[in-house]
Structure 1
Amino acid sequence: MTATILFVDDEPDLEALILQKFRRQIRDGLLTLMFARDGLEALQALEQNPHVDMVVSDINMPRMDGLSLLAKLQEAEDKKSTIIVSAYGDMSNIRIAMNRGAFDFLTKPIDFADLEATIQKTIGHVEMLREVRRRQMEAERAHASLSRFFSPEIARRLAADVEGSMEVQWRDVATLFTDITGFTSLVESAAPQTLGELLNEYVGGMTEIVFAHEGTVAKIIGDAIQVLFNAPGDQLDYATRAVACAHDLDAWAEDFSARWKARGVNFGATRIGAHAGPALVGNFGGNRFFDYTAYGDSINIAARLEAANKHLGTRICVSASIAEGAANFHGRPVGDLMLRGRSEPLRAFEPLATAKFESAATTRYSEAFAKMEAGDAAAMPAFAALVGMHADDALAGFHLRRLLNGAKGIRMQLE
């Protein structure tokens, strides 16, 4: 490294003396020296030569003294490491200089061995600061680049190279799966340009909501999105985040569908499933690719709860592990689902907004569900009355059809 030093002093013989003392370092390309006669001239030199690494300045000079120059240097965005030269014993000015940010000080008459040692120490400090800034800029560039492709938390960890944070490990996570009804038909019928605009807007909007809840987008496959909470970083409230995120995704998707319907495109409803449990989480992409995702039974359950919405008529279906783990969960029971590949039933819930949860209709549903769970024959007329008052209640209609077809209780097999 060639260090560029600006000497600021009004003594006429100083420049020749300094050049003589440092001639070897100048010849070997280790130092480049510049000179100014006062603070104003120094500021002009720095403006024209921003690459200057350090400043060595006397205090007593015409027009602008060294202490005023030091104050100006500390106001600049690129603060220059400054050595202040003062008369021997002038502790008052030395104290002021150090308080104003001087890196070090020397006393007159200058001991050139001391000057050389102080310059070397300052150059080491400058190199350290330069390396810190370089690493910070590299990390910022890496984060900006990675943020185009990964969730913010993953991008931050990759940019910072957090040791072990991407390795495969067992973690308790909350998983969301989203999918769109009738998307295959839409792909076959929509013009490519329309489909591209549609899907990009949809995925972009959905992922922004996930990021707002600090979730991790693990996979995007066509119209389907897999989201993780409590991975890669710890989130003690991961179930609560999952429920809040599901509500916001549902509201945004409904608005999105309505906007595109007004443009003549029938975009299907978005269905969401959520479950919490242990999963293998980490980078499964090998040495050549990066694929941060999760595997395990709990991941499969979340995917099957998403698919269960199709039969239930709901848009969001979550497991008991989500409902019990989320703070102030508002929802109504769906029943005990016998999901494909599982021998034990899974209690499922439909999350509800606060207003709907506190409505009379939800109270009637809960009463009818309790009768059905108890095997009470009054469950059928209770659901019939509910559907009569709220024909748009798809879940109540689902249970009424089950009861009319001879089903009993709340356990149900879904294909």
Structure 2
Amino acid sequence: MTATILVVDDEPDLEALVLQKFRKQIRDGAVSFMFAHDGVEALQSIENHPHVDLVVSDINMPRMDGLSLLQKLQEAEDKKSTIIVSAYGDMSNIRTAMNRGAFDFLTKPIDFTDLETTIDKTIRHVEAMREARRRQAEAERAHASLSRYFSPQIASRLAAAGEGDGMEVHWRDVAVIFTDIAGFTSLVENVAPDVLGTLLNEYVGGMTDVVFAHEGTVAKIIGDAIQILFNAPGDQPDYAARAIACAHALDDWAEAFRERWKSKGVNFGATRIGVHAGPALVGNFGGSRFFDYTAYGDTINTAARLEAANKFLGTRICASAVVADGTKAFRGRPVGDLLLRGRSEPLRAYQPLAAAAFEGAATAQYCDAFAKLEAGDAAAMPAFAALIGLHAGDALAGFHLRRLLNGANSARIQLE
């Protein structure tokens, strides 16, 4: 890199002298010089040539002296490193110059060996400052990019470490949440585009805020569907519990959002949520040109299947036993052993419940009826019927009662 140096001095012979003394460096492309005869001319030169790297300025000059020029340079957004030249023994002006931000000083008559050494030192300082600014700008860009996917805490950590840290594709245990909106296709066809845009942006923004509050990672947003990861990219030993807590918070937020828009005359569907945990292939799959941090594998597919299962079960949240078992003091009720598409073995699933619902008498009554269903006890049918009689809105109990009426006699559930 060629360093551009602006020399500001009203001595007529100085320009020729500088060019002569630095002819080798100029010929080698190490430095180039510009010259001005006072502070006013120097400011105009910098305005015309903002790439100036450093300024070497005398103090005593007509129109604008070196100290006034230094003050102007320090007030500018792009501050120029400045070497002040003063008469020998003029410590008062030198002290003022250093207080105003001069990088270094030289005394007259100029010792050109000393000038060369001081210029070299100042250029190294300028290059170090540029590198620091470049790194800061890269970190800010990385943080802005990462903030679209990760919570502020995780984004800051990744930006500080470098975007490649933890982004490589690798296997790791994760908890996955899939969300989807019931009847979204119909909504798209029947709502005005401007309303739909506002609706969906508010929904995705609010759901993302909930995810980030639980330090989750938004891996994918496809239309109305959101894929969320925990324990990726960083370690979260309590990832199963985080996923369950996040699922509850997402459900609460989505229901409040739904009611708010219903009051405006927009019939927004319920958000269905599936939660599962296990190994997945995680990392940046965007190649060198794009950033696409996501996850693939059977664990991801199973979470999506659990989300879809809510449609048949009448629930809004469906979580696997893997997640339930990994959550300390999990609160929920068993759904059954689901035979999901693409899986050869049944998967025990649960409906997570809020504390008040879990501790209510209806949950105990449901669990008693479900135990009879698991045991193949004929008393399961009247038990579920009695539950429905007391709680007609219990969709999951209604689902099991219909199964029993159609001849089912176990907790194994075949889903389409």
TM-score w.r.t. structure 1 length? 0.75
Q: Secondary structure at the match of 1:244?
A: helix
Q: CA deviation at 1:277?
A: 0.8
1:300 aligns with 2:291: no
Q: 1:32 is aligned with what amino acid?
A: M
Distance 1:48 1:188 in 2: 56
- Aligned match of 1:32 in 28, 31, 34? 34
Root mean square deviation of aligned Cα: 4.6
Report 1:72-87 matches (<5 A): 81=81
Aligned to 1:23: 19
Q: Is the 8 A contact 2:388 2:394 kept in 1?
A: yes
Q: Which runs of 5+ in 2 are unaligned?
A: 61-65
State the AA in 2 paired with 1:111.
D
Q: Structure 1, residues 356-375: CA drift from partner, whole Å, max 9, x if none?
A: 33333334333443444455
**Alignment deviations for residues 338-367 of structure 1 (CA, whole Å, 9 cap, x no partner):** 222323221212122233333333343334
Q: Distance in 1 between matches of 2:279 and 2:33?
A: 60
**Cα deviation per residue 1:266-286 (whole Å; 9 max; x = unaligned)?**
222111101111112234456
Provide the secondary structure at the position in 1 that maps to 2:318. strand
Asked if the contact 1:334/1:348 (under 8 Å) is kept, the reply is yes
AA of the residue aligned to 1:398: F
Q: Secondary structure at the match of 2:398?
A: helix
After TM superposition, the structure 1 stretch with the greater mean CA deviation from structure 2, 316-325 or 334-343, is 334-343
Paired residue type of 1:226: Q
Is the 2:307–2:318 contact (alpha carbons within 8 Å) kept by the matching residues of 1? yes
- Are the counterparts in 2 of residues 2 and 32 from structure 1 also a CA contact under 8 Å? no
Report matched runs for 1:106-145 at 5 Å.
111-141=111-141, 144=144
Alpha-carbon distance, 1:78 to partner? 5.8
Q: Which secondary structure state, in structure 2, belongs to the residue aligned with residue 392 of structure 1? A: coil
Q: Percent identity?
A: 70
Amino acid at match of 1:209: V
Cα distance change, pair 73–297 in 1 and its aligned pair in 2 (3 A): same
Q: Deviations over 1:198-230 (max 9, x none)?
A: 334333433343344343333333322222223
Q: CA 1:227/1:17 → structure 2, altered by over 3 Å: closer, same or farther?
A: same
Report if aligned partners of 1:375, 1:408 keep a CA contact under 8 Å in 2: yes
8 Å contact kept, 2:36–2:45: no
Change (3 A) 1:105 1:191: closer
The aligned runs of 1:376-415 (5 Å cut-off) are 378-415=379-416
Deviation at 1:381, TM superposition (A): 4.3
2:220 aligns with 219
Gaps of 5+ in 1: 9-13, 61-65
Q: 1:284 to 1:32 in 2, by over 3 A?
A: same
Is the contact made by 2:140 and 2:159 (CA closer than 8 Å) also made in structure 1? no
**Do residues 248 (structure 1) and 239 (structure 2) align?**
no
**2:200 counterpart letter in structure 1:** L
Match of 2:63 in 1: none
1:397 aligned counterpart, secondary structure:
helix
Residues 90 and 290 of structure 1, relative CA distance in 2, 3 Å threshold = closer
Distance 2:33 2:96 in 1: 29
Report the residue type matching 2:32 in the other structure.
L
Checking the alignment, whether the CA contact within 8 Å between 2:146 and 2:159 is kept in structure 1 is no
TM-score (norm 2): 0.75
Task: Tell me which amino acid in the other structure corresponds to 2:33.
Answer: L
Shift of 1:114: 1.7
Task: Quote the residue 2:149 is aligned against.
Answer: 151
Query: How far apart, in 2, do the equivalents of 1:152 and 1:78 lie?
Result: 33
Check conservation: 1:6, 1:36, Cα contact below 8 A. no
Contact kept? 1:3, 1:123, Cα under 8 Å: no
Q: In structure 2, the residue corresponding to 1:30 is in which secondary structure?
A: strand
The aligned residue for residue 175 of structure 2 is: 174
The range that moved more, 48-57 or 324-333, is: 48-57
Letter in 2 for 1:124: R
Partners of 1:162 and 1:147 in 2: how far apart? 8
